[in-house]
Structure 1
Amino acid sequence: MSIKVGMVSLGCAKNLVDSERMLHLIRQRGYELVTEPGDADVVVVNTCGFIQSAKEEAIDTILELCQLKAEGSIRKIIMTGCLAERYRQEAADEFPEVDAVIGIGDQGQIIDVIDHVLANERMVHFCSKLDVPMSGRRVLSTLPFFAYLKIAEGCNNCCTYCAIPMIRGGFRSVPMEDVLEEARWLTEHGVTELTVIAQDTTRYGEDLYGESRLPELLEQLCRIQGIRWIRVLYCYPERITDKLLEVMAREEKLVKYLDIPIQHCNGDILRRMNRQGDAGTLAALLNKIRQMIPDITLRTTLITGFPGETEAQFTELAEFIQAQRFDRLGCFAYSQEEGTRAAEFPDQVPEDVRQHRADILMEQQQLIVEEKNNARLGQVCTAVIEGYDRWAECWFGRTAADAPDIDGKVFIRSETPLHIGDYVTVRLDEVLDYDFVGEVVTDESAQ
């Protein structure tokens, strides 16, 4: 009887790529992959340990799996990922029911780990985090037409609130030829939309080539046959160059979408975060981007309640967001993470104040999005089909202005059958909060 293995991937898309690489190794070994943990003999949990809410989700997931193990539904549990890497022996001691706790550097040896636990040998092992696999085949767990393309590992930015450098190590770019080879392989397997990711995509190539090579990489990706849309996430504002913007404006396959996590606009707060700039430099950058790419969709991420943030500094942030009118925005209350410099700052803001400020900004942003969406009514745009909603009796998908999993949807009426992965022309007729209702105008074949 074949061994059944399940994977639970938590956290970010970068983690998901790691999970997909492990799934390929597992399938290559001959083990059967299952989607429901309760159907598996062995469950691998790729955890997130970035902020408190992510840690709580990982812990809850592991406890649920331990309960399934106690009931006899599953035999073995393997824990890896950022939470395991961050807490190591502490994680192993906290969860004695878990059969293996391994670091991110051990993920390339996942088959050996599975073999050990099946032989009733408990493993607690941590290779160098620099050994995390940065290339290799994957079993895609996303929709068949879409994939993430991870171009680097780790981070050198050392923001004072962030634990990523100590969890994942320093910034390491994937060689350009390896990135392009993986992209070609993905398109050969039906992928038409790529989202380029790293902790800081704009730093890509600095360690290998002595300068950022993101513009060149994007140009090369655009030359690959079969790709329809390419999106770039996690661009640091101080590294967005004119060359990058020129490439984005020129290349048709690059969707006009930039994710720029500014975190704050007050210069003093940004310096305490070990970030650069202030409201003036950020406003100048955003103005330049909009001049060079007039139809750009801009997304950002903010942190409220960072240590020392005064009411006046928060008000400055709220006024900046109101003035800049980002198309997409996420806001998080500051999470005090042990081991980070900011966690030791003496002027911590009370937790309820942090969250209240985040709620204020999200309510403010909802009104901005409502106005922007109403202004788009009647427009005709391209959308990619993601599925069929049986309850609404219509298809749904995304426009180029919407990143997978984090932005809105378009619910689409069509007189003819559609298929997942189709690119169709849609007229936007109604607004539903962050989403639209539209109707197919003419079908459009994917190039």
Structure 2
Amino acid sequence: MAYRVGCISLGCEKNRVDAEMMMASLEREGFQLVDDVAMGDAAIVNTCGFIESAKQESIEEILELAKLKEEGRIKAIVVTGCLAERYQQEIAKELPEVNAVVGIGANKEIARIVREALEGKRIETFPPKCELPLEGERVQSTPSYFSYLKIAEGCDNHCTYCAIPLIRGGYRSRKMEDILAEAEKLAQWGVKELMVIAQDTTRYGEDLYGEGKLPQLLTELCKVEGLRWIRVLYCYPERITDELLEVMAKEDKILKYMDLPLQHCSRQVLRAMNRQGDRESLSALIRKIREKVPGIVLRTTFMVGFPGETEEAFEELAEFAKEMRFERMGCFAYSQEEGTPAARLPDQISREIKEHRQELMMEQQMALMDEMSREMVGKTITVLNEGWDRYAECCFGRSAADAPEIDTKVFFTVEGKKPYPGMFVQVEITDTMDCDLIGQVVTT
């Protein structure tokens, strides 16, 4: 009988793609995949180790699995991903219930590792990070109509607060032909919306081709039959080129949506983060983006409470966010991560002040988003149907302005036959609720 194995993947969608590749590898080696890890013989936790809250979530998941193992419901626990790569011996020492702790470079050997763990062996292996596979089959874990396409691994930006280069290694672009072949396959599976991801998508190609190739890649992706929406995430401001904006404006399949992680606008804070720009230059960039790509939705993330962030610098950030009226925004309190340059900086800020600044930023943003949502009433928009909400007793989905799991939703009613998940419908917006849109189907 084949061993059964389940996987919990935490953190970012780049991690999800790694998990999908591991699942395909296991299936190819004769393992039976299960959706519920409690129903498996072995459980894999593909951990996140980016910030403190993510690390805590990973540890809690491992401890929950340890209870299942103690009860005899599962036989082995395998920990991989960023937390395992970052805290190698610590996990093995502090969590003796775990059978295998392996670094990201060991993902290609996951079938052997799981099998040996089930045979009672204790495994600790941490091959070079660069051995993490960039290519391979995947088992799709998202709904059939959307998927993520990872175009590169690692990061060379070296922001002082970020542990990603320590954990994932240097930037490695995939060959364009390999990316396009994978996109073709995803489209054949029925994927309608493709999310293009990397730690920094705008750096794509610099290491392989000597220059950024994201505009060319997007142009080629638009030729893939079956794809309707292509969403570009994680674009860094210093690499937003006129060529990229021209492609986004010209190509119908590319959503007028850009994830632009700015982090701050204070020149002093940005330099301490090893980031470029200031309020003036970033404001000019945003005006330029909106001018060249009319109707674009901008999502950004800000970090408050970075070491040395004065009250004046925070107020400048809040004013900037209000002035720019970002359609989507997330704000995080700085997390002091060991091994990063920022962790050693003086003038660390208390948790209370960081959290208070985060709350103020999000309160301001929610008020802005509520206002912008109300401006949508009376308009008709295209919505990708995602299913039926039994509590609201209506369908729900996402517009082009909404990325999965991080943005708002559209709730809508329909006369007659319900649309199937993955179907595009035209919805007239009639109301709002907590920044989500409410409407009714006008055509299907």
> TM-score, length-normalised on structure 1?
0.98
Alignment correspondent of 1:175:
175
Alignment correspondent of 1:63:
63
Say whether residues 1:94 and 2:90 are aligned partners: no
Alignment correspondent of 1:341:
341
Any idea what SS the aligned residue of 1:376 has? Answer: coil
Per mean C-alpha deviation after superposition, the further-off stretch among 390-399 and 246-255 is 390-399
Q: What one-letter code is carried by the residue in structure 2 that aligns with 1:435? A: D
Say whether residues 1:396 and 2:396 are aligned partners: yes
User: How far apart, in 2, do the equivalents of 1:393 and 1:360 lie?
Assistant: 34
5 Å matches for 1:348-387?
Answer: 348-387=348-387
Residue-pair matches, total: 443
User: How far apart, in 1, do the equivalents of 2:112 and 2:367 lie?
Assistant: 52
Alignment correspondent of 1:433:
434
5 Å matches for 1:35-434?
Answer: 35-415=35-415, 416-434=417-435
User: How far apart, in 1, do the equivalents of 2:343 and 2:188 lie?
Assistant: 46
Any idea what SS the aligned residue of 1:280 has? Answer: helix
* Residues 356-381 of structure 1, C-alpha deviations (whole Å, 9 max, x = no match): 00100000001100110001111111
Any idea what SS the aligned residue of 2:299 has? Answer: strand
Q: What one-letter code is carried by the residue in structure 1 that aligns with 2:204? A: Y
* Residues 245-266 of structure 1, C-alpha deviations (whole Å, 9 max, x = no match): 0000000000000110000000
Alignment correspondent of 1:16:
16
User: How far apart, in 1, do the equivalents of 2:35 and 2:101 lie?
Assistant: 21
User: How far apart, in 2, do the equivalents of 1:119 and 1:63 lie?
Assistant: 21
User: How far apart, in 2, do the equivalents of 1:164 and 1:203 lie?
Assistant: 15
Uncovered stretches (5+) of structure 1, i.e. residues with no partner: none
> TM-score, length-normalised on structure 2?
0.99
User: How far apart, in 1, do the equivalents of 2:281 and 2:346 lie?
Assistant: 28
Q: Which runs of 4+ in 1 moved over 3 A?
A: none
Per mean C-alpha deviation after superposition, the further-off stretch among 160-169 and 118-127 is 118-127
Say whether residues 1:27 and 2:27 are aligned partners: yes
How many angstroms does 1:147 deviate by?
A: 0.3
Any idea what SS the aligned residue of 1:306 has? Answer: coil
User: How far apart, in 1, do the equivalents of 2:264 and 2:118 lie?
Assistant: 49
Q: What one-letter code is carried by the residue in structure 2 that aligns with 1:424? A: V
User: How far apart, in 2, do the equivalents of 1:419 and 1:28 lie?
Assistant: 31
Q: What one-letter code is carried by the residue in structure 2 that aligns with 1:3? A: Y
User: How far apart, in 2, do the equivalents of 1:353 and 1:37 lie?
Assistant: 39
Identical counterparts, % of pairs: 56
How many angstroms does 1:82 deviate by?
A: 0.1
Any idea what SS the aligned residue of 1:436 has? Answer: strand
Per mean C-alpha deviation after superposition, the further-off stretch among 383-392 and 180-189 is 383-392
User: How far apart, in 2, do the equivalents of 1:275 and 1:296 lie?
Assistant: 24
Q: What one-letter code is carried by the residue in structure 1 that aligns with 2:144? A: P
User: How far apart, in 2, do the equivalents of 1:410 and 1:47 lie?
Assistant: 31
User: How far apart, in 2, do the equivalents of 1:423 and 1:140 lie?
Assistant: 21
* Residues 40-91 of structure 1, C-alpha deviations (whole Å, 9 max, x = no match): 1000000000000000000000001001100111100000000000011111
Per mean C-alpha deviation after superposition, the further-off stretch among 361-370 and 112-121 is 112-121
